[in-house]
Amino acid sequence: MNIYAELFFTFMKIGVFTFGGGYAMIPLIDRECSEKREWITSDELSEVTVVAESTPGPIAINCATFIGIKKAGFLGAALATLGVILPSFVIILLISGFMENLLNNTVFANAFKAIRIAVSLLILRAGIKMLKGCLKKSQKKTASAIIALIFFAAVTLLNIFGVNFSSIYLILISGTVGFFVFGLFGGKRV
């Protein structure tokens, strides 16, 4: 199979078998593109994920576009992007007329509840893998781990207690804390 077809069908498979958006797709992108096909390393995927989150557009589309352009230029990017969005588009198009009736059906409503739990676990898995990669690369592992744990606990507690606190503020606060912690310790290992 040529690279164009492989990019399209790989990302179409990722799009078909992943529910819950871009973050839930990261583990599958990692397995398909890093482990199986070696198009990108896990470290590169972590970096792409950070950049994709910082740029406009859904994270899965940005990742597909980056990997496609890296492997096969503009056409590869276009096909990978089309592959990842086509399944969602077709599925939403097909069920949009029946969605209200489906959600009133207890079997489908319960299935969607179970899917939400599975998606949460997929996102958690992706986050843990990225955290491990960041800590492995960090020279200041202890400080990095403490900052990560504090902000993980903060986000968890805010969600448990239903406090509406913008993630943007948490990112800004954690960046500021990291700047001061690593700036204060300079080249010393923490």
Give tens-digit pLDDT for 60-110: 888 999 999 999 999 999 999 999 999 988 888 887 777 777 777 888 778
Most confident of 2-6, 153-157, 167-171, 176-180: 2-6
C-alpha to C-alpha distances, 25 to 122, 160, 169, nearest whole angstrom: 8, 25, 25
Q: Which of the two residues, 97 and 41, has the higher pLDDT score?
A: 41
Is residue 152 scored above 90 in pLDDT? Answer: no
pTM: 0.63
The share of the chain scoring above pLDDT 70, in percent, equals 91
Domain ranges of the chain: 3-123, 138-190
- Report the 10 Å Cβ neighbour count for 116: 12
Q: What is the CA radius of gyration of the chain?
A: 19
Query: Cα separation of 178 and 182, whole Å?
Result: 6
Confidence of residue 12 (pLDDT cuts 50, 70, 90): very high
C-alpha to C-alpha distances, 119 to 38, 93, 126, 149, nearest whole angstrom: 25, 22, 11, 21
